[in-house]
Amino acid sequence: MTHAHVPSAKLHGYGVRWDPEGRCYRVRNEMTGEWQLDSSGQLASYTSFTVAFGAWRVFEPPRRLGE
């Protein structure tokens, strides 16, 4: 991920996060730490938490038994 893809310093953690500077939700993979990108290579942004959560569920690989 290049510097242009790093969200604001206030955005940290994993899963679905609100980006106060972008005024949208961002999605981060808990297993790899990577941020979800859109088809143009920019950070994916969502205005609805419900839609962002659905995107996270697809983006986050299912955990195996025992993890």
pLDDT band at 59 (very low <50, low <70, confident <90, very high): confident
- pLDDT tens sequence across 8-39: 555 666 789 999 899 999 999 887 888 999 99
Percent pLDDT > 90 in the chain is: 43
Count other C-beta atoms under 10 Å from residue 13's C-beta: 8
Give the count of beta carbons closer than 10 Å to the beta carbon of residue 2.
6
- Average pLDDT over all residues of the chain: 81
User: Whole-angstrom Cα distance, residue 38 to residue 44?
Assistant: 5
Question: How many percent of the chain have pLDDT more than 70?
Answer: 72
**Residue 37 in tokens:** 């990108």
Radius of gyration of the chain (CA): 12
